[in-house]
Amino acid sequence: MTTAVVVVLWIVTAWRLPSIRQEQWTRGLGTTFAFLAVALTAALPAIDARISAATGIVALGTMIKHLAGIAACWSVLAWITSVLDADTARRRRAQVASAIATGVVTTVLFIASSPKPGPFDEVMAGDRLATAHVAVFEVYLGLAMGMATALFVAAARRTSAAILRTGLVLLSLGTTLGIGYAVLRCVVLITAIVDRTAPPTTVSHMAPDVEAAAILLIVGGTTLPAAATGLAHWRYYRALSALRPLWDRLTTAVPDVVLGRRPGRAADALPQDVRVRLLRRVVEIHDAQLSLRRHVTAEHIAWARAQLAQLGVAEPDLDAATTAAWLHAAAAAHLSGLPQLVDAVDDQPAGHDNLDQEAERLLAVAAMTRVPTVAQVAASLCQRVEEHSKEHR
């Protein structure tokens, strides 16, 4: 179980590595997982043995685990306080000072305990200095996890986003289990002092599983919102690609609506900010609608809608199909050089202020442009618009 958790931590660390060079509220999670990965890796028996053999310092892996664990606690506290805008200079100094003080005390006690070769928890069980070394770390861990739990709960109450609140709840559950792990470890230490010959208890066997569960909950709590953001970006990317044919046709007819340089397909494939690019596409399509609407009348649109309904287009698709038909006819009229109609529709086209809703509406329109029935009605509408234009010259 521990090895699997270590692998997960290194994967998450590699994923968040780019954020380490950014601001505290962004890099805090990256450094936290990096410290946790180092801590649990150093604690693996095989790694601990290799570290001791390479340095000549017995049980150095245990010391690294505790120092990296202290750093991880400091990092997660610094991160959540910065996210909550509670990151005052005084609080930062207190967090750093407590982490450094704990690290110094545990180091001094570790050196004074003169560890013996072998698994630290077994060969040093009952030793007072070794017990004090571990106890100082566990007490700091418990207090840090308690503070983190309180901050995560406060943050969960403040947020209205369901996915973010779920992530914060998972984080608070993870840090609560972190408190439980620290308590269990203290019980094991006290038991060993009372009776050095006592065999391992259920509590001592539970502690590693509780530690693993706490870490996995913390990983899940931080990954869930990020995964949701990733899925949202993927939806934006697919919408951007799906709207390209409709955008191409409309902006070919009305090129002036394009904001800045006309993006090619390569730019769509690798946008710097896919949401901004999608917003730009939606705005440009909307502006093209406004411009092309001067080439059709209300009667044209009503006729197209009636024809589509008569040909079997279902009510839920009727609005999108009608829009697709009149846009095709209006674009064809504009490209043919036909003048705008005096009696054209002058009201705003249907739309939404919300990007997701407007993109969904336009995706439905784009999908309708590929339906044979809509193409048939659009072709007939083109003829009617042309005839109407000639009659009113």
Residue type, position 293, single letter: R
Half-sphere exposure of residue 226: CA atoms within 13 angstroms, side-chain side: 13
Give the largest Cα separation in the chain, rounded.
Answer: 106
**What is the pLDDT at residue 320?**
93
pLDDT-derived band of residue 82, with 50, 70 and 90 as boundaries? confident
Among 257, 236, 271, 231, CA closest to 360? 236
Question: Which stretches of the chain are DSSP H helices?
Answer: 2-16, 24-43, 45-55, 60-83, 89-113, 120-123, 128-158, 162-194, 202-242, 244-253, 265-269, 274-292, 298-310, 315-335, 355-368, 372-391
Q: Which residues neighbour 232 within 8 Å (Cβ) at sequence distance 6 or greater?
A: none
Q: In a 10 Å sphere around its CB, with 0-12 CB exposed, 13-18 middle and 19+ buried, how is residue 233 labelled?
A: middle
Q: Cα–Cα distances in Å, from 102 out to 52, 95, 108?
A: 23, 11, 10
Residue scoring higher pLDDT (310 or 268): 310
The more confident residue out of 66 and 223 is 66
Helices in 258-314 by DSSP H: which ranges? 265-269, 274-292, 298-310
- Residue 13: how many other CB atoms lie within 10 Å: 20
Q: DSSP code of 294?
A: G
**pLDDT of 100-124, one tens digit each?**
999 999 999 999 988 887 777 776 7
* 374: nearest Cα among 283, 298, 285, 312: 312
Confidence of residue 350 (pLDDT cuts 50, 70, 90): low
User: Distance between CA atoms of 80 and 97, rounded to whole angstroms?
Assistant: 18
**Domain boundaries, given as residue ranges, for the chain:** 2-230, 243-391
Instruction: Say which residue, 349 or 150, is predicted with more confidence.
Output: 150
What are the pLDDT digits (tens) for 373-393? 999 999 999 898 888 777 666
Sign of the CA dihedral running 32, 34, 39, 44: positive
pTM higher than 0.75, yes or no? Answer: no
* pLDDT of the residue at 295: 86
Query: Which range, 66-70, 256-260, 269-273, has the best average confidence (pLDDT)?
Result: 66-70
Interatomic CA distance for residues 170 and 225, integer angstroms: 11
Given this model, what pLDDT does residue 199 score? 55
Radius of gyration (Cα) for the chain, nearest Å? 32
Give the dihedral sign, CA 245/246/251/253. Answer: positive
Half-sphere exposure of 385 (CA within 13 A, CB side): 36
Q: What is the pLDDT of residue 66?
A: 95
Name which of 163, 160, 162 is nearest 228 in CA terms: 163
Mean pLDDT (the chain, rounded): 86
In whole angstroms, give the CA distance from residue 41 to residue 6.
Answer: 6
Give the contacts of 12 (CB within 8 A, at least 6 positions apart).
33, 37, 219, 222, 223
pLDDT of residue 73: 94
